[in-house]
Amino acid sequence: MKILQYTIVLIFTMVAFQSCKSDSKDQAMAVEYQCPMLCEGDKVYNSEGTCPVCKMDLKQVESTEAKVKADNDEISEESIFNLTSTWRNEEGEEFQLKALKGKTLVMVMIYTSCKAACPRLVADMRNIEAQIPKDKLKNIDFVLVSIDPEVDTPERLKDFAIENQMDDSHWTFLQGTVGGVREFANVLSVKYKEISPIDFSHSNIISVFNAEGELMHQQEGLGVNNKETIASILEVTP
């Protein structure tokens, strides 16, 4: 009887081990083949062969699935690209923060109806932007995140961008959800509190992130010396 029990356990273990092994094999096998001259554009084949157009041997490419997995793996634990909240920019386009991957990010949290600190924070952002060599601007995104997502709709953010001549492609304005904004503020150590239906008290912090979404530098205050902020931007921007 003991021997029978032992045999059953052994068989179960082997089956479990086998299926586990074939799973990982399937993942490793996720390769596709494509014409090296891209005769048929992005078309891929599941097996080796030759291109029906130019007759060259198809070359092995990583499957899209494997690429997506690799992209996700590249996000470090400290990166803001791990946040899964949904945002809309001033054009009304919806995306997650990881869509901003690949550029240096200079970020600040403001709200457009602020009469006190925010206009000065916006001026500080423009002052930083003005000191960046023009050829670097294409690799930098200056992002203004609203702390008042109920009022600051994409339309309103767009109007604000135009009024302040901040409608070049390197300026981005974001509307989040109430929870998403709160979560993002926590990551930046920005504190804010609604003090009346149209007013917030808030920290004045400008943050620099590298292209991987990792925090590199923060400056706190209004009209402060921004030399270190600019040095940090230039250091991480190709």
Has 202 been labeled as part of a binding site? yes
What minimum distance in Å lies between the beta carbon of 206 and Cu ion?
A: 13
Has 217 been labeled as part of a binding site? no
Q: Which residues on adjacent β-strands are paired with residue 173? A: 144
Near Cu ion in 148-187, by CB under 5 A: none
Q: Which residues on adjacent β-strands are paired with residue 45? A: 33
Binding-site residue total for Cu ion (CB under 5 A)? 3
Has 54 been labeled as part of a binding site? no
Asked if residue 144 binds Cu ion (CB under 5 A), the reply is no
Residue 218 has which token pair?
């923060």
CA–CA separation, 52 and 195 (whole Å): 68
CA–CA separation, 66 and 62 (whole Å): 6
Asked if residue 114 binds Cu ion (CB under 5 A), the reply is yes
Asked if residue 118 binds Cu ion (CB under 5 A), the reply is yes
- Among 44, 117, 137, 215, the residue binding Cu ion under the rule CB under 5 A is 117
Say if residues 90 and 161 touch (Cβ distance below 8 Å): yes
Say if residues 218 and 206 touch (Cβ distance below 8 Å): yes
Binding mask 68-107 for Cu ion (x = CB under 5 A): ----------------------------------------
Residue 140 to residues 72, 95, 199, Cα–Cα distance (Å): 21, 18, 30
Asked if residue 221 binds Cu ion (CB under 5 A), the reply is no
For residue 180, which phi and psi values (nearest 5 degrees)?
-65, -40
What minimum distance in Å lies between the beta carbon of 224 and Cu ion?
A: 16
Which residue's CB is nearer to Cu ion, number 80 or number 114?
Answer: 114
What minimum distance in Å lies between the beta carbon of 229 and Cu ion?
A: 19
Asked if residue 190 binds Cu ion (CB under 5 A), the reply is no
What minimum distance in Å lies between the beta carbon of 235 and Cu ion?
A: 29
Asked if residue 205 binds Cu ion (CB under 5 A), the reply is no
For 154-202, the DSSP string reads: HHHHHHHHHHTT--STTEEEEE--HHHHHHHHHHHT--EEEEETTEEEE
Annotated binding site for Cu cation: 114, 118, 202
Binding site for Cu ion (CB under 5 A): 114, 117-118
